[in-house]
Amino acid sequence: MTNTLPVAIYSFPAYRAQGDKLAQALQLPCLNIKVHHFPDKESLVTLPEQVAEHAVFCLSLDFPNNKLVELLLAVKTARQQGVKRISLIAPYLSYMRQDKSFHPVEAISQQIIGHWLGELFDDLITVDPHLHRIHSLDEVIPDTNTIVTTAAPWLGRFVESLNQDVILLGPDEESLQWVEQVASVSGARFAVATKTRYSDTHVEIHLPDIDFKDQHIIQVDDVLSSGHTLARAAELLYKKGAAQVDVLVTHALFGEHALQTLKESGIKNTYSTDSIPHPSNCIALTELLAEKVSMLIKG
């Protein structure tokens, strides 16, 4: 290749602001990928004419179906341009929840999408992937350099910056790994509830046996999707006399009606990282991601 850049951040429209900030932090060129949607939602993807030998795509995979197709089109076109190495920064990694088949011939989407991403990308960086029975992302995306990092220290520093006496609560057993780390950084007390899920919108929460009366509670979790788990826990906390209940999450998915569900439960504030663009974003992951990309480039 002639007149090429050694390394560049490739920014998609859905994650443009974060891509630009990351490029600035790394002092790398930022090349903008253009995406046009036709009336039937087909995507037309146009790569920049400038080419990098190492392309670092930056795109979080919330509401993923169109984005996955757009990634496929972009990667194949970049390879045709002569790009030698393509990395993906996907702070939120989709299709990780379905890691086993619960009914005959039910697709195990984690394996299928994971293997597919592994075929496309040489490297993948993600933040707090939603893994259940799988302990390592290498099991999901084999033969690819996967780098998993956590936003927990940044959440902890945010809690510390509030300068308030709070109790951190994980809404279920799976949240222990995050709430414990956030507590260790912030110095706040923490506890974990238990959960039984009957459907996407029907959950039963059991609070730990501690005194919540007149306390400020911040629920900590990796993903906020429907909001039903956090809302149900908030309702129980208020019944126990809690003074205020907030929410702090890494990935603010916010499905349909999620915000209304949280408000109706009495949750006052919702805080999130910018892994997914949302009005609740108050914690930037730029520094965290820049550190991992820098290590990747230096090899």
Structural domains of the chain sorted by starting position, each given as residue range(s) with its CATH number in brackets: 5-150+284-298 (3.40.50.2020), 152-274 (3.40.50.2020)
pLDDT in tens, 193-227: 988 765 655 678 899 999 999 999 999 999 999 99
pTM, entire model: 0.92
Look over the chain and give the mean of its residue pLDDT values, rounded to a whole number.
93
pLDDT in tens, 70-110: 999 999 999 999 999 999 999 999 998 877 777 888 888 99
pLDDT in tens, 108-129: 899 999 999 999 999 999 999 9
Q: Over the chain, what HEC string results?
A: CCCCEEEEEEECHHHHHHHHHHHHHHCCCEEECEEEECCCCCEEEECCCCCEEEEEEECCCCCCHHHHHHHHHHHHHHHHHCCCEEEEECCCCCCCCCCCCCCCCCCCHHHHHHHHHHHHCCEEEEECCCCCCCCCHHHCCCCCEEEEECCHHHHHHHHHHHCCCEEEEECCHHHHHHHHHHHHHHCCEEEECEEEECCCCCEEEECCCCCCCCCEEEEEEEEECCCHHHHHHHHHHHHCCCCEEEEEEEEECCCCCHHHHHHHCCCCCEEEECCCCCCCEEECCHHHHHHHHHHHHHC
Q: How confident is the model at residue 8 (pLDDT cuts 50, 70, 90)?
A: very high
